[in-house]
Amino acid sequence: MHRNFLFDLDQTLLDFHASEYKAHEILNGNELLFYNEYESFYKMTGNSKAFENFCREAFGQDFSQDGFSDINQIDRILKYIPKGEDVHILDVGCGNGKMLGYLQDKTGAYIHGFDYSESAIDTAKKLFQTKADFKQGNIGETDYPAEQFDLVVSMDSMYFAPDMEKFVLQIMRWLKKDGVLFVGYQEGDVMPKTDNEKTTVLARALDNCGIQYEVEDITSETYELLKKKRDAALLYQKDFEKEGNKDWLDLLLLQTDCVTEGYDSFTQKMARYIYVVRKNELGRRG
């Protein structure tokens, strides 16, 4: 997933009240959020040289990103991966698995991932067949054994949890006793913009569950990344058009239109944070 599509959704979806948010339902309640768009997206990424070049230029590595996961954000994950022969990493909303493949290449860990996109999982299974397990599934429906993972990563996928608190507790059950949850979390597109890193839907879910966390505000670097993303899209504009992928180019420009304004204006509408939860530091309220 690693998801931050900015499709022209009905404004009521973007202005929902956080406590009523049901991320797996959209409008008529029968369609998974952005499912058709992601099926098209992952089919495109498998055939587009322009998009591959765009990702390398904008993000420093081609992970088939549609959002904000550049190489600097992904490299932050590495320090939370322990050394050893039996290390297991789960990526929630793994897309086509390229980010997991990178982490495996750096650490030798076993990689696990699930995503609701059939096209993405089919690609992941083809690309990564050693010490790898990929399955198609939805947040809230997919389950794993207790204490299986050293690290659970969610880059722009927590938004799809139908019940954030329940999903957080499920992840805690999946983690080994010294395990870590690493979350890349965006506000202002799918999720509503709140006051700060302690008022997000995720932060409130962690607080309500009595779970301590560390958080880093990376809004300023995200603003710079979005400018780089826009420049990269324009750099490969002709290549996108030659491939017949002008619609995807237009989407990239739409996603980055927010940085044509100044930083102060940007921060009124958007924010980005990295949350880290260490299971051995859980602070449960009695």
CATH number at residue 270: 3.40.50.150
157, 1 contact by CB (below 8 A) = yes
| 3-class secondary structure, 280 | helix
Contacts 24+ apart (CB under 8 A), 6-9: 6/189, 6/251, 6/254, 6/255, 7/34, 7/37, 7/251
pLDDT of residue 22: 38
138, 112 contact by CB (below 8 A) = no
CA atoms of 117 and 136, how far apart (whole Å): 7
In a domain, 230, yes or no: yes
What pTM did the predictor assign? 0.86
In a domain, 131, yes or no: yes
In a domain, 1, yes or no: no
| Residue 204: band (very low, low, confident or very high) from pLDDT cuts 50, 70, 90 | very high
In a domain, 3, yes or no: no
In a domain, 6, yes or no: no
| Residue 207: band (very low, low, confident or very high) from pLDDT cuts 50, 70, 90 | very high
Q: pLDDT, tens digit, for every residue of 239-279? A: 999 999 999 899 899 989 999 999 999 999 999 999 999 99
pLDDT of residue 98: 94
Tally of domains in the chain: 1
In a domain, 221, yes or no: yes
Q: Is 280 exposed, middle or buried (0-12, 13-18, 19+ CB in 10 A)?
A: exposed
* Domain assignment of residue 245, given as a range: 11-281
CA atoms of 70 and 253, how far apart (whole Å): 17
Distances (CA, A) of 45 to 50, 165, 175, 213, 236: 9, 33, 31, 35, 14
pLDDT of residue 68: 79
Q: pLDDT, tens digit, for every residue of 58-82? A: 999 999 887 778 999 999 999 999 9
| 3-class secondary structure, 14 | helix
In a domain, 4, yes or no: no
In a domain, 286, yes or no: no
266, 223 contact by CB (below 8 A) = yes
pLDDT of residue 33: 57
Pick the range with the lowest mean pLDDT from 22-36, 142-156, 181-195, 215-229: 22-36
